[in-house]
Amino acid sequence: MTAPQQPRRVAVIGQGYVGLPLTVRAVEAGFDVVAYDIDKARIDRLRHGLTYIDDVSDAEVAAALATERFHPTAADRDLTGFDVAVVTVPTPLRDGAPDLSYIRAAATTLAPHVRPGCCVVLESTTYPGTTEEVFVPLLEAEGPLRAGRDFHVGYSPERIDPSNPTWNFRNTPKIVSGVDPASAQTVAAFYERLVDRVVPTAGTREAELAKLLENTFRHVNIALVNELAIFCHGMGIDVWSVIDAAGTKPFGFMPFVPGPGVGGHCLPIDPSYLSWQVRRTLGQNFRFVEIANDVNEHMPDYVVTRATAHLNRDRKAVNGSTVLLVGLAYKRNSGDARNSPAITVAHRMVDLGATVLAVDPLIDADQVPTGVVLVECTDERLAAADLIVVLTDHDAVDWALVGRHARRVLDTRHRLDEPGTDRL
């Protein structure tokens, strides 16, 4: 196989929360980058130097354009001649099973452009075996070239944590793998130019499963503290003080905190990939995942139950009450509302007849649920609300202002310390 000694042309398939940071970093590293996405609105924004995700700024997009090595496109023909192609497309669940349609489509799009010595890397989260059993056959379908013999293929799971101020694409260790040793070396060499540290695994299946383990670990531990929070409330114990006390142990314990549920592009989805494959392959249930799913999926309902009880103590019904939700995004300091438990809470409150207002300085208006009115966080709005429910603890919120209304606050994030605050 003839492999390019110094790959120059990189194609990134998918320009979302994973693909765009990778694209910008590859441009910074000196690559000529084709930023491909089927969403023409995204491509138009990028061509005008505008971003649409939290982790990449307008200035960074503009700087990439200024290099003349950043080429946003929705045209398949622009993929011709790539040295490395990286696929960063979504992998949602459909009826409890992995939906690989985006991966299949990406592989089919790339197949006519595969050439001797090139390298194709899958980053999308998926179940073990996808790279070699699904992705590779589609890449090989267009001609006689074969993975491992004529071109390289690998898997390198994304580890993007949107809005994380400490860990970004460059300084987060990158797991790398290949379908054969030469592919693994080529994949590692590519990412070594982009990140501070690469972590090779024995094969693609190990890399695929490592990603699922990372998020299953978080999912299960969040479910543990969420259920503990429910029990602690029933026993009159402050779960937050329990977690703080346990967190002083310097070994054998890692603190997790409760909340209104889990959201985003990973935790509500990735562990179910593992559970699905265990059922398919072994005919067994992955009990930890099933239990964690049950606990975390029902946390929004528990929050609504607590909100109802809070209003009842003031002799008020949910129906007809004004409920102000603070935060609709799934996580702090992010404008991402994908699978957000706050959105589920909002829907439940609307269905119960509440007048639902929401404060979120980071979310786009098109992500606000039907029946919810996005408002500014003002003293007048806070004072007029029968109940304030803190669902996302953005730093941009005026918490001192919210705290002045503590006796009408249900805080699911432990952002407020004022006496009288009803905490999860």
The fold for domain 299-424 equals Rossmann fold (3.40.50)
Q: Could you state, in order of their start, the residue ranges of all structural domains in the chain?
A: 9-201, 204-297, 299-424
Alpha-carbon distance of 246 to 259, in angstroms, equals 18
pTM, two decimals, is 0.92
What is the DSSP annotation of 249-286?
A: -SSS-------S---SSSTTTHHHHHHHHHHHHHS---
* Residue carrying the six token digits 């941009």: 396
> Across-strand partners of 372?
356
Domains 9-201 and 204-297 are alike in CATH topology:
yes
Helix, strand, or coil (residue 359): strand
pLDDT per residue rounded down to tens, the chain (424 residues): 654 456 799 999 999 999 999 999 999 999 999 999 999 999 999 999 999 998 999 999 999 999 999 999 999 999 999 999 999 999 998 887 889 999 999 999 999 999 999 999 999 999 999 999 999 999 999 889 999 999 999 999 999 888 888 999 999 999 999 999 999 999 999 999 999 999 999 999 999 999 999 999 999 999 999 999 999 999 999 999 999 999 999 999 999 999 999 988 777 788 888 888 888 889 988 899 999 999 999 999 999 999 999 999 999 999 999 999 999 999 999 998 989 999 999 999 999 999 999 999 999 888 999 999 999 999 999 999 999 999 999 999 999 999 999 899 999 999 999 998 999 9
Helix, strand, or coil (residue 80): coil
The fold for domain 9-201 equals Rossmann fold (3.40.50)
Catalytic positions are 266
CATH class of domain segment(s) 204-297: alpha beta
Residues 15 and 46: beta-carbon distance below 8 Å? yes
